[in-house]
Amino acid sequence: MKTALFVTCVNDMVFPRTGIAVVNILERLGHQVEVPRQQTCCGQMHANTGYRDEAMPVIRHFVRTFQGYDAVVAPSGSCVAMVRTLYPRLVDSDPQLAAAVAELLPRTYELSEFLIDVLGVTDLGASFPHRVTYHPTCHGMRALRLGDRPLELLSHVRGLELVPLKGAEECCGFGGTFSVKNPAVSGAMLHDKCAAILDTGADYVLAADNSCLTHIGGGLRRRRAAPRTVHYAEVLAS
């Protein structure tokens, strides 16, 4: 199976360790993973902020880059949701591009979908002897319906103690450009999310999206609070 890793722009620039973790996980399972050098971004920020015309060149580039792979895996619920839910409508005026997108969609996976649904693995032999809590990010939960896939993977990690997060299904307040367009409301939501995290007494907060974790981690550090934010892929690779 010809598998490509779409690391996402945020991970590439700020969280390379998450991409490295995905490579390690897949190679450990005996899979060859390719990282197309042409890859950049999915265009989510443009599309979600209303800049459809500006999103189009980015979308075209994404489709060109990942055409021809059997599977495209990304460690981000949000970027995969962009491809799966927004691409079809954004490209519908261009039949050729629409056909390419339709072909690409069913082969684009968030990491936990790929591991469980495609590879059929749940135990990655990882060990992470820490108290952790998990925040299900909105696009993973509601747009992709990941369900408990990430938790299923984490349940096999040796030594990991998972503490339930109160109000876990509530948005952390990031919302892409929402965080800077509506900083006051975003900050209020973040405040409540941080309080819920601190209540768990966890040492680590895990999620499927580093963008949300940047927001949450930034809020925790602002309060000089202890819990550290880590993408769940890094825990699975540990």
Give me the residues that bind other proteins (CB under 8 A), please.
7, 9, 11-16, 18-20, 23, 35, 37-41, 43, 45-52, 54-55, 57-58, 60-61, 85-86, 89, 138-139, 142-143, 169-171, 173-191, 214-215, 217-219, 221-222
The nearest distance, CB 200 to other proteins, in angstroms, is 19
The nearer residue to other proteins, 23 or 122, going by C-beta atoms, is 23
The nearer residue to other proteins, 149 or 215, going by C-beta atoms, is 215
The nearer residue to other proteins, 52 or 156, going by C-beta atoms, is 52
The nearest distance, CB 142 to other proteins, in angstroms, is 4
CB atoms within 10 A of CB 224: 6
The nearest distance, CB 90 to other proteins, in angstroms, is 9
Residue ranges of alpha helices (H) inside 14-162 are 16-28, 44-49, 52-66, 77-81, 87-90, 95-104, 111-113, 138, 149-154
The nearer residue to other proteins, 29 or 188, going by C-beta atoms, is 188
160 touches 130 (CB < 8 A): yes
d(CA 214, CA 210): 6
The residue whose two tokens read 């509530």 is: 170
171 touches 138 (CB < 8 A): yes
